[in-house]
Amino acid sequence: MSLSHTQTPGQLPGRTIRMAFMCRSMSISKVCARMLPRLIASLMLACTVLLFGACATQRVGTHTSLYDDLGGAAGVAHMVDEIVTELHTDPKLADLFTETDDAYFKERLNEQICNLTDGGCEYTGLSMEEAHSGMDLSHAQFNDFVEACRRAMTRAGVTVGNQNRLLALLAPMHGQVIHQ
């Protein structure tokens, strides 16, 4: 085996060629040395972006609506049944619901919750102002209603986290319901 003019004893021909290709002179070697940390940093940044992108994609793929988290149509219907039962048995609220058409009320409450929680339903009932017109409900009665709903949701097996999510969607209706 004969040595090429750039090869020294103990070196492999391929390694010599690769080193000569990467850094032909001392000035190129310095450039390579300065660029290496930038190259590594760029590769790490690219990997980080890809990793976070993959995580974000995973989260989007597994995201469920509150409607789904409540159990879909069956879960919401069960919860609404419990709420209506609680409203009729709560001594502070029962008088407000003595003349209520429960079937109609349940249908509208189902629609409203489905609509608010991204279940894909359209609410076809009255506005909150119209539905509560002439009732002159107080802040205390509104709060009693919320507590009755909490008890009913707990009985229906709704987690505290999902109760809070739903009540946060209903809370803005406070001003539309009281003193109407």
CATH architecture of 66-177: Orthogonal Bundle (1.10)
Question: Taking each helix axis from N to C terminus, what angle separates 72-89 and 102-116, rounded to the nearest 10 degrees?
Answer: 130
**With 50 as the cut, is the pLDDT of residue 59 above it?**
no
Q: What is the mean pLDDT of residues 136-157?
A: 96
Give tens-digit pLDDT for 23-45: 455 555 665 566 666 656 555 55
Binding site annotation covers 78? no
* pLDDT grade for 179, boundaries at 50, 70 and 90: confident
Maximum C-alpha span of the chain: 107
**Terminal CA-to-CA distance of the chain, rounded, Å?**
102
Q: What is the pLDDT of residue 1?
A: 52
Tokens of 7: 């090869």
pTM score of the predicted model: 0.65
